[in-house]
Structure 1
Amino acid sequence: MSSLHQRETSLWHPFADMSAVRDEQFCVARAEGVWVYDQQGRRYLDGTAGLWYCNAGHGRTEIVDAVARQMRELDTYFVFNDVTNPPAEQLADRLAGLAPVDDAKIFLTTGGGESVDTAAKLARLYWVHQGRPERTHILSRGNAYHGTNGMGTSIGGIEANQAGFGRLVPDTERVDRDDAESLREAIERIGADRIAAFFAEPVMGAGGLYPPKPGYLEAVAKICAEHDILFVADSVICGFGRVGGWFGVERWGLRPDMITFAKGVTSGYLPLGGVVVGGRVAEPFWRQPGHPFRHGPTYSGHPSVAAAALANLDILEREELPARADALERPLHEGLLSLADHPAVGEVRGGTGLLGAVELAPDVLAADPGAAARLQRAVRDRGVIVRPLAKAVAVSPPLTVAESEIDLLVQALREGLDEVTTG
Structure 2
Amino acid sequence: MSASASPDTTSTRLWHPFANMADVKNQAFLVDRAEGVWVYDQDGRQYLDATASLWYVNIGHGRREIADAVAAQMSRLDAFNVFNDYTNRPAEELAARLAALAPMDDARVFFTSGGADSIETAAKLARLYWVNRGQPQRTHLLSRGQAYHGTHGVGTSIAGIQANRDGFGEMIADTTRVSNEDPEDLRDAIERLGADRVAAFFAEPVIGAGGLIPPKPGYLEAVAKICREYDVLFVADEVICGFGRLGHWFGSQRFDLRPDLITFAKGVTSGYLPLGGVIAAGSVAEPFWTDGGRPFRHGPTYSGHPTVAAAALANLDILEREDLLGRSRELEQPLFDVLRSLTDHPAVSEARGGVGLLGAVELDAALLAEEPGLVLRAHQAIRAAGVITRPLGSALAVSPPLTITTEQVDLIGQGIRAGLDATLS
Q: Aligning the two structures, in what range does the TM-score lie when normalised by the shorter sequence?
A: over 0.9
Distance 2:247 2:109 in 1: 21
DSSP 3-state at the match of 1:177: coil
Mapped pair 1:257 → 2:260 = yes
Partner of 1:207: 210
TM-score (norm 1): 0.98
Cα distance, 1:277 vs structure 2: 0.4
- 8 Å CA contact retained: 2:157, 2:170: no
Partner of 2:349: 346
Deviations along 1:126-159, one digit per CA (max 9) or x if unpaired, are: 0000000000000000100000011011011111
Map residues 376-395 of structure 1 onto 2, 5 A cutoff. 376-395=379-398
- 8 Å CA contact retained: 2:121, 2:278: yes
Shifted more, 103-112 versus 282-291: the winner is 282-291
DSSP 3-state at the match of 2:274: coil
DSSP 3-state at the match of 1:25: coil
DSSP 3-state at the match of 2:396: strand
Distance 2:179 2:291 in 1: 38
Mapped pair 1:56 → 2:59 = yes
Deviations along 1:256-292, one digit per CA (max 9) or x if unpaired, are: 0000000000000000000110011100000132410
Within the candidate set 308, 312, 322, 1:309 is matched to 312
Partner of 1:97: 100
Map residues 7-156 of structure 1 onto 2, 5 A cutoff. 7-156=10-159
- 8 Å CA contact retained: 1:5, 1:26: no
Opposite residue 176 of structure 2, the aligned amino acid is E
- 8 Å CA contact retained: 1:5, 1:24: no
Opposite residue 55 of structure 1, the aligned amino acid is N
Partner of 1:164: 167
Aligned sequence identity (%): 67
Distance 1:66 1:92 in 2: 17
Distance 1:188 1:420 in 2: 48
Mapped pair 1:273 → 2:273 = no
Opposite residue 359 of structure 1, the aligned amino acid is E
Partner of 1:319: 322
DSSP 3-state at the match of 2:11: coil
Partner of 2:4: none
Cα distance, 1:248 vs structure 2: 1.0
Shifted more, 366-375 versus 69-78: the winner is 366-375
Deviations along 1:139-181, one digit per CA (max 9) or x if unpaired, are: 0001000000110110111111111112220000000111101
Cα distance, 1:346 vs structure 2: 1.4
DSSP 3-state at the match of 2:143: strand
Deviations along 1:206-257, one digit per CA (max 9) or x if unpaired, are: 0000000000000000000000000000000000000011011100000000
Opposite residue 157 of structure 1, the aligned amino acid is G
Map residues 221-260 of structure 1 onto 2, 5 A cutoff. 221-260=224-263
- 8 Å CA contact retained: 2:377, 2:423: yes
Opposite residue 170 of structure 2, the aligned amino acid is R
Opposite residue 79 of structure 2, the aligned amino acid is T
Distance 1:30 1:370 in 2: 29
Distance 2:292 2:306 in 1: 28
Backbone CA RMSD of aligned residues: 1.1
Partner of 1:371: 374
Distance 1:355 1:408 in 2: 15
Cα distance, 1:355 vs structure 2: 0.5
- 8 Å CA contact retained: 2:287, 2:293: no
Deviations along 1:169-214, one digit per CA (max 9) or x if unpaired, are: 0000000111101101101100111000000000000000000000
Partner of 1:396: 399
Distance 2:211 2:21 in 1: 23
TM-score (norm 2): 0.98
Opposite residue 199 of structure 1, the aligned amino acid is F
Cα distance, 1:343 vs structure 2: 1.2
Cα distance, 1:340 vs structure 2: 1.1
Distance 1:325 1:109 in 2: 26
Mapped pair 1:295 → 2:294 = no
Opposite residue 16 of structure 2, the aligned amino acid is H
Partner of 1:357: 360
DSSP 3-state at the match of 1:338: helix
Within the candidate set 281, 286, 290, 1:283 is matched to 286
Cα distance, 1:115 vs structure 2: 0.3
Opposite residue 130 of structure 1, the aligned amino acid is R
DSSP 3-state at the match of 1:306: helix
Cα distance, 1:419 vs structure 2: 2.1
State the aligned residue count: 420
Q: Structure 1: which 4+ aligned runs deviate by more than 4 Å? A: none
- 8 Å CA contact retained: 2:9, 2:27: yes
Opposite residue 98 of structure 2, the aligned amino acid is L
DSSP 3-state at the match of 1:348: strand
Opposite residue 149 of structure 1, the aligned amino acid is H
Distance 1:177 1:248 in 2: 17
Distance 1:288 1:329 in 2: 47
